Chain A
Amino acid sequence: MFGFQLKGQRPPKPRRVKEGVVMRFDHVYEIDPDRMSIIKQQEMPVWDTQRIIANRWEHLSWMHNHFADSVISGEELEKEIEESKKKIRTTKKSTSRRKKR
C-alpha cells in the first residue's frame, strides 16, 4: 500500500479529562473540540501525533545537550537533601544516647 490512509490509523475517541481539555492518548492533551468552532481541528492519524510528540521530546533533549554537558536532576537533589537530614538526625540521636550513658 502506498500513501497515507486515515482510516488505517484513526485515533481513539477523546475522553474529557477536565473542563475544556480532552485526551486520546496518555499525556497528550487537546482542546475540547466544542471550542474549536472558528478554527477547525485537523484530523490527525496516530502516527502523526506520535511523530510530533517524539520530535518535541527530541527537540527538548537537544536543547539541554546544546547548552551544557549534563543536566542535574532536582529529584536527585531532593533525595540527597533528605538523606543528609536523616543522617544528621541519626548522628544527633546516637550522640545524645552516648551522653545519657
Chain B
Amino acid sequence: MSSVAISEPVIDELRAIVGPTYVLTSKTARYNRTRVPAPFPVHRWSEFLPDIVVLPETTEQVSEVVKLANRLKIPVVPRAGGTGLADGAVPLRGGILVDIKRMDKILEIDLDNRTVTLQPGINMLKLNEEILKYGVFYPDDPASYPCSLVGGRIGTSGFSLIAGRYGHTRDLVISMQVVLPTGEIIEVGDGGGRKIRKSSTGFHLKHLFMGHQGTLGICTEATLELVPRPEAEFAAFFGYKDFESAYRSTGALTKSGLATLASVVLFDERKIQYLRRDDEAYIPQPRNLKSVIAVSMYGAVDEVKPAGRRLMQIAKDTGGKYLGDEVSQGDWASRHDRYATPLHGRLLDRRVVPMCWHCEDASINYSNIPNVMREWHEIADRYIKKYGIFDDWGCFFYTNAAYKPWGDYLSEIDIGIWEQKLNDKTWKAWVNCKREITEVTLKYNGSITACHGSTREGDAEYVPEEMGGGFEVMKRIKRVLDPNNIMNPGKNMLDNAYEED
C-alpha cells in the first residue's frame, strides 16, 4: 500500500478530474490491474494491489492526476495492455493506477508525410484495421499483437517480430507527448518537429522516454511511422539434423543482406523436444529433425519472391530442409498471437499441469549463443530436479537489431512454472534461478532484456551492473524529473536515487 493513505477528499479530487465513473475502488477493479502474464507470487497477490484506479481520457486529465499525486506524494503506476512480461505495470507501492485504455483515439492520419498521431491506449491490430483503407501499415508486431497497446510498447521500448525489415517500437515512434512526474506536458522527438525523423538539435530526448517503464512520466500522445502495406508475405520453416547446423545456417541467412528479411528465428533442440509433446505442427515431424529455423519476409511481390528464392537456396545449401507450406504459413501466423496459447507444462513424471510462462528475453551476440544456451539449460535442469514445479520449454534466438539482423539475438529460455504451488520457499527458489540465468547473460557481455524491460525480480538487481557508470546518470535524471519518486517507484533500482536524502 502507498505511504500516503488515499483519503476520501483525495478520491473526490480524482472524481472531479476524470469523472466519477472513471475512478474505481472495487476489489475486482484493483485485483484485475495488479499482475501481468509473467510468473507472479500469487500467494502474495494483495501486496501488489493499487489503492485506486483512474481511467483518464485526455492529456490534461493525466496531467491533473499526476499533479495531485506529486503534491501528496502518492505513487502513480501507468498501465496499458498489461501484457509486458517483466512486471513494469505491477504496482510495488500501491497508489494510483492510471489505466490508459480510454485514451484510444486516432487524432490525425497524414498520408503526405506518412504519419499517424494518436492516443496511446489504442491497440496495433485495431489501428491497422482503421488505416488499411489508405494502403498503409503500422508494422509494430509483438507476440501480443492483438492485445497490447501503443503506450505499453513505448513504456517498455518493445521488440517487434518483423523489426529486421521495419524496426522496433523506438524506430517507429517519431515523437510523443509526455506528462512529466510534476504534471508538466512536453513534446519529445529526435529533436523538435512532431513529424521529423532525423534531427541533430539538442539531446535526443525521445530515446530517454522509450522503455522507462513509467518511471519518468506518462506518454499521452504519439506520432508514428506509416509504411506501405506489404504486398507479399513469405514465411519459411527449415528443419536441421542438429543445432550446430541450424546455428551456422542462421548466420548465413541473417548475413544474406536481403532488405526484405524481417526475421530469422532459431529453435534449439530442447525447444523442438517441447514442441513435439503437443504442438500439431511438430508432433508428426521425423525423429531426425532436431532444430528449426523460421524466416519471414515482407514487401513488394517483386522484391519478396526473388529474395525468397535466394533464402530457400541458402537454407538448403547449409543443411536445411523446407518443412512445407502448412507448417511454415500456419506457425508463422500464430506467432503474432502467442498470448492466446493456453499454457501447460509437464512434471518430471510427465503428467500435465497448468503453468505460467517465464520468457527470458536477453540480448546475446551470435558468437555467444551456444555457450549461453548450454549454461541456461544446466541451470533450469538443476531447479527442475530439485523443486519439481518448473519445466524447460527450450530456447529461441530471434534476430534483434533493426534493419541489420545479424549481430545480436533476442535470446529466450522459456520456463514453465506451476504457479499454484508457489509459496515463499518456491518463489525464492524461482528468483534465485532467474538470477543465475541473468548472471550468465552478463558474463557473456549480453543485455538483460531485449524486449520486456529489466523491472522484474531477478533482473532489476542487475541493472546497476549492466549500466555501469550510466546508472549514476540514470539516478540523477530520475531525481531531477521526479523529485518525489512518485512515478512507478521501486522499479529498475531507481529508489537508490533518493538514498542520499
Q: How far is the CA of A67 from the CA of B334 in the complex (A)?
A: 12
B353 beta carbon closer than 8 Å to chain A: yes
Chain A positions within 8 Å of B278 at CB level: 21, 29, 31
Please state if B333 and A60 are interface contacts (CB–CB under 8 Å). yes
Chain A positions within 8 Å of B325 at CB level: 73-75
Complex interface bits, B227-269 against A, C-beta within 8 A gives 1, otherwise 0? 0011111111000000000000000000000000000000000
Chain A nearest Cβ from B229, distance in angstroms: 7
Q: How far is the CA of A85 from the CA of B13 in the complex (A)?
A: 75
Interface size class of A (residues with CB under 8 A): 20 to 34
Listed stretches A4-12, A32-40, A43-51, A92-100; interface member:
A32-40
Chain B positions within 8 Å of A20 at CB level: 277, 350
A68 beta carbon closer than 8 Å to chain B: yes
Chain B nearest Cβ from A38, distance in angstroms: 5
Chain A nearest Cβ from B391, distance in angstroms: 13
Q: Is chain A's binding surface mostly helix, strand, loop or mixed?
A: mixed
Inter-chain CB contacts under 8 Å: number: 102
Q: How far is the CA of A60 from the CA of B235 in the complex (A)?
A: 13
Chain A positions within 8 Å of B236 at CB level: 74
Chain A positions within 8 Å of B230 at CB level: 67-69
Chain B nearest Cβ from A49, distance in angstroms: 13
**Chain B contact residues, CB within 8 Å of chain A:** 125, 128-129, 141, 229-236, 277-278, 280, 283, 298, 301, 304-305, 308-309, 312-313, 322, 324-325, 328-330, 333-334, 336-337, 344, 346, 350-354
Complex interface bits, A48-82 against B, C-beta within 8 A gives 1, otherwise 0? 00000000010111011011111111110110110
Residue of A71, A72, A81 with most partner-chain B CB within 10 A: A72
**Chain A contact residues, CB within 8 Å of chain B:** 17-18, 20-21, 27-29, 31, 35-39, 57, 59-61, 63-64, 66-75, 77-78, 80-81
6 closest A-B pairs by beta carbon, nearest first, are A68-B233, A60-B333, A63-B333, A68-B230, A72-B234, A74-B236
Given A72-B305, A81-B312, A39 and B232 contact (CB-CB distance below 8 Å): no
Q: How far is the CA of A28 from the CA of B404 in the complex (A)?
A: 39
Chain B nearest Cβ from A45, distance in angstroms: 19
